[in-house]
Amino acid sequence: MAFMTRSSIIAIGASAGGVGALHELAAALPATLPVPVLVVLHIGAHRSELPAILSAAGPVPAKHAEDGENIQSGCIYLAPPDRHMIVVDGQLRLLRSPKENCARPAIDPLFRSVAEHYGPAAIGVILTGRLNDGTLGLYEIKRRGGVAIAQDPDDAPYSQMPESAAEHVELDYCLPLAAMPGCLLKLIEGKTGKEVPMAETSSLLDHEQEPEIVAGRTFDRPLTVTCPECGGALKKFEQGSILKFGCHIGHSYTSEVMAAAQFEEMEKVMRAAVRFLNERAEFCLQMAEYTHAPHPDISAQWHAASRQALDRAYKLRDLVEQDWLTPESSAEPPIAARAHGKAG
């Protein structure tokens, strides 16, 4: 069953390179824009001047969202620092809930809420950025009948986010930035003639882990993978073609972001171990000097312990600084087959 729809809200997600992309979009929007625009840019907890930048770029005013305010047409609402922004019954809510894909604000929470409350009337847009925050949210917008758009990766300063969207979501449009304002206005005016299917039901699949039998002396296989943020056990889900991990606290990661976060935490722990070994070497050396006169035999033991700690510190530092295999950063998914509306 299908029906015609007109878009009534635009949700945009961007990360690295996003300030320039959002500036260009804002400059091309008309003063009479009849829908609200909700934007998440990965800014973390840092102060943001983005509302002033976008307000100066074009005629549509931009502001940081306020918790509980009603959503009005003709305004660009931006997620403020360190807060997720979602929509609930026509209002904006700001949450300091757990980070998603190592980000707060994150794109996925906004897109999920827009998909839930606006369904086929929603437009989701993924712009330039690293890794793949926003892909799962865009999948939800598409699944509930909304319009899925991504910036052409060849046009993006950082192509990973739009590439991920194109790989995992059946995009309606994959466009260079310059073509987006015109496309958005046509969707708002209902001039695309787009038919959308009834929304599908959700399907999250949880697969059991198969045991691995390894001969010889080795580490036992862990019962689970833990959250890089809090150390809690992670549960694995499949949503469409996207693999996702989440802990009971609420932190969640796509597989690529999980790999990057896990590697960063591993490197941090290993470098901390190098520091502790170096400090142990220094402590043992000071003890050797302190005990040298009254107890030369004990001093020799402290000297030996210092040399051992320093030797292991060098070995561990060399291990940390070796090249590591990072397949999460080298994958280049195909994009053309997924982009029905790619500009030619």
Q: Of these residues, 108, 133, 152, 155, which one is catalytic? A: 133
CA distance 138 to 115: 8
Element spanning 282, H or E: helix 255-291
Task: List the one residue out of 142, 131, 97 whose CA is nearest residue 250.
Answer: 97
For residue 305, the one-letter residue type is A
Q: Of these residues, 42, 84, 117, 168, which one is catalytic? A: 42
Specify whether the CB–CB gap between 153 and 163 falls below 8 A. Answer: yes
In 113-264, where do the E strands start and end? 122-126, 147-151, 173-175, 195-197, 234-239, 242-247, 252-254
DSSP 120: G
Q: Does 252 participate in catalysis according to the annotation?
A: no
Rounded alpha-carbon distances, angstroms, from residue 330 to 173, 179, 241, 253? 25, 29, 19, 18
Specify whether the CB–CB gap between 93 and 86 falls below 8 A. Answer: yes
CA distance 192 to 172: 11
Specify whether the CB–CB gap between 56 and 31 falls below 8 A. Answer: no
- Within 8 A by CB and 6+ apart from 161, the residues are 13, 14, 15, 126, 127, 128, 129, 130, 131, 132, 133, 134, 135, 150
Q: Does 42 participate in catalysis according to the annotation?
A: yes
191: number of CA atoms within 13 Å, CB side?
Answer: 7
Q: Of these residues, 15, 113, 164, 252, which one is catalytic? A: 15
Q: Does 207 participate in catalysis according to the annotation?
A: no
Both structure tokens of 16: 């690295």
Q: What is the largest CA-CA distance in the chain?
A: 93
Active site residue ranges:
15, 42, 133
